[in-house]
Amino acid sequence: MPYDSAKDPWHRRALSPAGLGRSGALVTPSDATDLPRYARLRVFVPATLASAAVRILTVEAADDAPLTLPLAPGQVSVLEFLVRRVLATGTTAGLVIHRVD
């Protein structure tokens, strides 16, 4: 899918993607569906997991060019990417993923 400015909360605004989020929502990973709004992600990895990874499509990535990012157990990570989709395939089950927008 191409870039959709209607989903980009920072499109033509002075706000920075690194700034504080004004809203957020729980994310359910999907191999086929983009997030309703492009966003940064906050990911919590329970300490009970031995290892974890999240697989994402950034806003400018093609559907066949995901990034797989390793995550530390027992930690919260805020990803430094603007994300359009969190893929179910390749994302560790049990993560708590929130959209930050």
Using alpha carbons, select from 57, 94, 64, 50 the residue that is nearest to residue 79. 57
Q: 6 is written with which tokens?
A: 């209607």
User: How far is residue 53's CA from residue 89's CA, in Å, rounded to a whole number?
Assistant: 10
Neighbour count for residue 98 (Cβ, 10 Å):
18
Q: Please write the tens of the pLDDT for every residue from 45-65.
A: 999 999 999 999 999 999 999
DSSP 39: B
Neighbour count for residue 14 (Cβ, 10 Å):
6
Whole-model pTM: value is: 0.84
| Residue 61, helix vs strand vs coil | coil
User: How far is residue 61's CA from residue 58's CA, in Å, rounded to a whole number?
Assistant: 5
Q: Please write the tens of the pLDDT for every residue from 3-15.
A: 888 888 767 765 6
